[in-house]
Amino acid sequence: GDSVTQMEGPVTLSEEAFLTINCTYTATGYPSLFWYVQYPGEGLQLLLKATKADDKGSNKGFEATYRKETTSFHLEKGSVQVSDSAVYFCALSKAGGTSYGKLTFGQGTILTVHP
Amino acid sequence: GAVVSQHPSRVICKSGTSVKIECRSLDFQATTMFWYRQFPKQSLMLMATSNEGSKATYEQGVEKDKFLINHASLTLSTLTVTSAHPEDSSFYICSARDPGAGGKETQYFGPGTRLLVL
């Protein structure tokens, strides 16, 4: 079946440091890929997405590129802020048929940014 | 942006009782909603897909008689945990699919419901 694997956390960084959270996936066909963020005490929010190979999703300074050849969708940010502290989830979704809209999540990566 | 609400946000109940959790899409019609379960420090696991006007589709290993889902309208889905036991204690999260315009489908998540069964 489909699966998503994220780098294990927690990740602790100083403010303005560079962030990478690795994500790889296993799926048949051509899934859409997502990064969701969960701030403390809140629900999941879509951070960015990419729907086909070589697409780059970006939002709030975060970026991720859909790499079909390496089945990866790594999340990056050039300079993190304390307010970026949250749990980040990589996910995939298959379009069409009974799988449409169902999300398969990675295990989540806790990010803590210190001043 | 679109908002999905859940009620209650937190519930504590005695073992053997049933608990109902509501999921509402507040400014769009959702023919499809999803129910997830999240254990501490773990990922979200899809439990079932809730379809308006038809039976829910359950994932493998999820007991449909234990977790009753009703999608009575285009803006409301309910999850009832029947005869709850301590092992059902978890964080339950719903999401609602907004088909959007021009094929720009988006899924919006509720804030979650923390269930503690004593």
* Residue A104 to residue B4: CA distance in whole angstroms: 20
Q: What is the pLDDT of residues A4-27, one digit of tens each?
A: 999 888 999 999 999 999 999 999
Q: Over chain A, what is the mean pLDDT? A: 91
Contact B49 A36 (CB under 8 A): no
Minimum CA–CA partner of B97 in chain A: A101
Contact B44 A44 (CB under 8 A): yes
Question: In terms of pLDDT, which residue wins out, A85 or B43?
Answer: A85
Lowest mean pLDDT across A63-67, B13-17, B26-30, B74-78: B26-30
Residue B58 falls in which region: left (phi positive, over 0), alpha (psi -120 to 50) or beta = beta
Q: In angstroms, how far apart are the furthest CA atoms of chain A?
A: 47
Q: Over chain B, what is the mean pLDDT? A: 90
Smallest Cα distance from B17 to chain A, Å:
26
Q: Which residues contact A57 (CB under 8 A, 6 or more apart)?
A: A33, A35, A48, A49, A50, A63, A64, A65, A66
Contact B112 A108 (CB under 8 A): no
Per-residue pLDDT, averaged over B73-96, amounts to 95
The pLDDT score that the predictor gives to residue B2 is 61
* Residue A89 to residue A91: CA distance in whole angstroms: 6
Statement: residue B1 has pLDDT above 80: no
